[in-house]
Structure 1
Amino acid sequence: MKLTDLPHRTAAFVDEVLDLSANDAIARRLRELGFIAGERVEIVAAGPFGAEPLLVQVGFTRFALRRVEAGRVRLRMEPVA
């Protein structure tokens, strides 16, 4: 499932961040912000127009992400064992 498909206030866990090119700056930045495998995430809120941006909580930190950025984060519902 993509982060953009996650219902609000539902916890999930990062599986991976998709790279669209060999040196993908956006994917690298998402990982630097904490979107790494096994990290707990949830969508806290969404903007009023087209649900953009998404307010996403990773661990104890919140970020505003555009839907195109959030769509690169793949999730799983269960933590990695």
Structure 2
Amino acid sequence: MRLDQLPLRQPASVDSIHWPSLSDVEGQRLRELGVSEGVTVEALHHGGLFGRGPIACRVGRMIVAMRRLHAAAITVRPLDHSNFDRSEAAA
């Protein structure tokens, strides 16, 4: 599943990122924000008209706004809510 398709408040682990679909600058920015394989993410809010704008995501302990195009390049695996510990997201 892609990050832009992840239901709100559903924690997930980043499985892969399709780096070729991003420019060098966009890829560098995602890396600087801590987005990489294995990181826990959570979609918190869909902005814009009809929820088609940027996505507010928790990446570790930070909350970042991400363009849908960038979120579509990130493949995630949903985590079980009952096994998810917020302290894991801080790691």
TM-score (norm 2): 0.74
- Shift of residue 31 of structure 1? 2.0
Query: Number of paired residues?
Result: 77
- Once residues 7 and 59 of structure 2 are traced to their aligned partners in structure 1, the CA distance between those partners, rounded to angstroms, is 15
* Aligned-pair Cα RMSD in Å: 1.7
**Whose strand fraction is larger, Structure 1's or Structure 2's?**
1
- Shift of residue 34 of structure 1? 0.8
Q: Kindly report structure 1 stretches of 4+ aligned residues shifted beyond 2 Å.
A: none
Unpaired runs of 5+ residues, structure 1, are none
Query: Can you list the C-alpha shifts for 1:21-48, whole angstroms capped at 9, x where unaligned?
Result: 6x73312321221111111101111114
TM-score (norm 1): 0.82
- Shift of residue 4 of structure 1? 0.4
Fraction of identical pairs, as percent: 36
> Within 5 Å, which residues of 2 pair with 1:33-52?
33-51=33-51, 52=53
Unpaired runs of 5+ residues, structure 2, are 80-91
